Each structure stands twice: as structure tokens, then as C-alpha cells.
Amino acid sequence: MNQRERIIRLFEERILPEDELARLITERDAETDELLYEKARIRQNEVFGKDIYLRGLIEFSNYCRNDCYYCGLRRSNTKADRYHLTKDEILGCAVQGRELGFRTIVLQSGEDLSYSDQDICDIVSSIKNRLPDTAVTLSIGEKTREQYQMYYDAGADRYLLRHESASPEHYAKLHPSDLTFENRKRCLYDLKDIGFQTGAGMMLESPYQTTDDIVKDLLFLAELKPEMIGIGPFISHHDTPFRDMPSGGADLTVFMIGVLRLMLPEALIPATTALGTIDPMGREKGILAGANVIMPNLSPRSVRGKYLLYDGKISTGEEGAESRAKLCERIERIGYHAADSRGDSPLMKQRR
């Protein structure tokens, strides 16, 4: 099969044999990339029209019990300027977000154990009571099935937990030994089983990542069928063990967005902040390759610069949720528009 045939077959059948997936990644060239993006846009248009969904992201704490080698929030980074928001501050941001027009609020944090499960449930149910037409997404890491069930019962609609790498060996090169791909996978299947719209995903060009690792990621995603898929380039952080590792570029992420749009046409795929950080036009390139979600920052300005997963993370300017109008303009300029619906997965029946 040549690259053209691979793309057409992926478009028609949603999957390729494993060895062809590997070649698809290694045999990229500008001309066939264009074909991939064209096909991805066709699929995107069939499922979502020209709608782009906006999510207001509240990064409510940068405390973390974990020590992931790539992440600036890792517990061993004593230089991180730590903060966590109170329930009232979080609620205030959510209400402000709804006023700005967001109908999904994403609550993300490091794994901060100072919030009890009751606290998380309280925060979720308060937002749902105050803003009944708004979806709440949690992204607070690995928990037990019972904990996930509590959050779901409190009203959380969606959960983001990137799998980071579906190769256990590669996973072990990115994380200390108390974190395993096996448990990450258990979490994701629990989340799906409970009824969350579930998000997985990986970094691209993370240290030691091979083409075979990316193929494993694709096969894992094809098996899990997450409702949401977040991918972005690895970007090094100066106070982590990976400080000297080269950051990834936009190209591979944009390419993989196209591939994933063909493999999982109904998925909600964000053009991520990391993609927008590594390339000022990254967001646009992502959308034109099949992405259909953008997640502007809704955290209070005073803490916005402190959620530093990696160096150079954009957090002001059009990144800020209050610049919604400017962001909408950018989306219009490339022929799409910001939708005002909640943007649920087309695979999910709304449960309430």
C-alpha cells in the first residue's frame, strides 16, 4: 500500500493493519498530508457540521501527589508556586464562564488530596444546581471506581484522563513505578462503564516514544473508543527530569488529529493548549485537520500563570476565556463557528 491508499482505506474502513499504521506515520509527506486533512474535514463535517465547541477550563489546583517526569506540577518540583482555589472561587469562575457563554466547565487539577471526595462532589453539585444547562467535566486523575461513581452521582458528565502512553514499557519511562499503564487503563474502563463521556489521549514526541508506541496508542484508542481524545506535543519544563529533552513540534500532533478523526469520526478532539503553545497557528491547523473543541482558560487571572505543566504555556491573550469574541473570530476566519450547544458526544444519550 502507498500512503495515498492507506489514507483512503483509513477513510473507508476506520482502521488499518498494524504494520500499515506504522508506515502511515513514518511515510508522511506534504502532499499526502493534505489528502488526510481533506478526508478528515469531510468526516468532521458529516458528524459535526462546522461546529466548534468551546469549554471553559478552570485549573483549580496545581498541587500534585504524583511525580511524573514530564510535568511541571510534579511533587518534587519545589520551585512550583502552588495554589488551590476554594469552592466559592471555583463556583465564581464557573458562573462567570456561563455568563461568557460557555456551556461546559472543565475542572482540572493535579492530584491534590486536600480536596476530599465530599468536597469534589459538593463543587460539582453546586455548579450543576446553579447552572443546570451546563456540562461539568472533571480531570483530576486516577481514583477508585467508587470515587468515580460518587462524582458521577453528584452530577459530573464527563471525565478527562489521558492514557499518556499505551505501551507499558514506554509508560514506565515517563512515570515513577507507582504509576502504571495497567491502572490508568482500569480507570478509563471504569469511567466508561459508569457512564461518563470519557477522554483519553497521549503526548506526541514525548521522550523515548517510538513509532510502535504511537501505533499502540492508536490501537488502544480504537479499542477503548473514548468520546473525547486529547493529544498534544510534549514540551519540556525546566524544573523536571526531562528538562534537556527536546520538545515536539506541531506537525505530528496535527497529523495524528487527522488520523484519529478518520479512526473515530464521532470523537470530540480538542486543538489543545500545547498545540497552540508550540505553534501560534496550531489551533487553526488542528481544526483544519479534524479537531472540533477548544478549551480557553477560565481560571482567575492571579493563578493563570501558575499552572505550568510545561515551559511557555500560553495563558493570557486570546487564551483567556474572557476573549471569547476574539477566539470566535479566529474560528470564523477559517470557516467554522463556535457552537452554543453543550457539545455532548454524538454517541451518548443525554442522561439528564
- To the nearest 10 degrees (0 to 180), the angle between helices 181-194 and 211-224 is 20
Whole-number minimum distance, CB 74 to ligand SAH, in Å?
Answer: 9
Percent helix / strand / coil, the chain, rounded to 5: 45, 15, 40
Burial class (CB in 10 A: 0-12, 13-18, 19+), 125: middle
Q: Are 231 and 272 a contacting pair, CB within 8 Å?
A: yes
Give the shortest CB-313-to-ligand SAH separation in angstroms: 9
Whole-number minimum distance, CB 204 to ligand SAH, in Å? 9
| Nearest to ligand SAH of 268, 274 (CB atom) | 274
- What is the maximal distance between C-alpha atoms in the chain? 57
Alpha-carbon gap, residue 120 to 336, rounded angstroms:
35
Distance in angstroms (rounded) separating the CA atoms of residues 4 and 225: 25
On whether the CB atoms of residues 233 and 203 are closer than 8 A, the answer is yes
Closer Cβ to ligand SAH, 7 or 160, answer by number: 160
d(CA 290, CA 309): 25
Cell reading at 273: 493548549
- Least distance to ligand SAH, CB of residue 109, Å: 6
E strands present in 192-258 = 197-200, 203-204, 228-229, 232-233
Q: How far is the CB of 66 from ligand SAH (least distance, A)?
A: 7
How many whole angstroms separate alpha carbon 62 and alpha carbon 5?
45
Three-state secondary structure along 22-64? HHHHHCCCHHHHHHHHHHHHHHHHHHHCCEEEECEEEEEECCC
CA–CA distance from 195 to each of 120, 131, 191, 318 (Å)? Answer: 18, 21, 7, 33
Nearer to ligand SAH, 7 or 124 (CB): 124
Quote the least distance from Cβ 70 to ligand SAH, whole Å: 4
Binding site for ligand SAH (CB under 6 A): 70-71, 108, 110-111, 139, 141, 161-162, 164, 203, 232, 234-235, 237, 274, 309-310
Cβ at position 85, least distance to ligand SAH in Å: 15
Q: Which helix H or strand E contains 326, and what residues bound it?
A: helix 324-333
Closer residue to ligand SAH, CB minimum distance, 187 or 262: 187
Give the residue at shortest CB distance from ligand SAH: 310
Nearer to ligand SAH, 32 or 139 (CB): 139
Closest to ligand SAH by CB, 234 vs 255, is 234
Query: By C-beta, is 312 or 346 nearer to ligand SAH?
Result: 312
Question: Closer CB to ligand SAH, residue 148 or residue 234?
Answer: 234
Q: How far is the CB of 39 from ligand SAH (least distance, A)?
A: 27
> In terms of CB distance, is 3 or 247 closer to ligand SAH?
247
What grid cell was written down for 163?
Answer: 492514557
Smallest distance, Å, CB 72 to ligand SAH? 7
Three-state secondary structure call for residue 106: strand
Cα separation, 307 vs 305, whole angstroms: 6
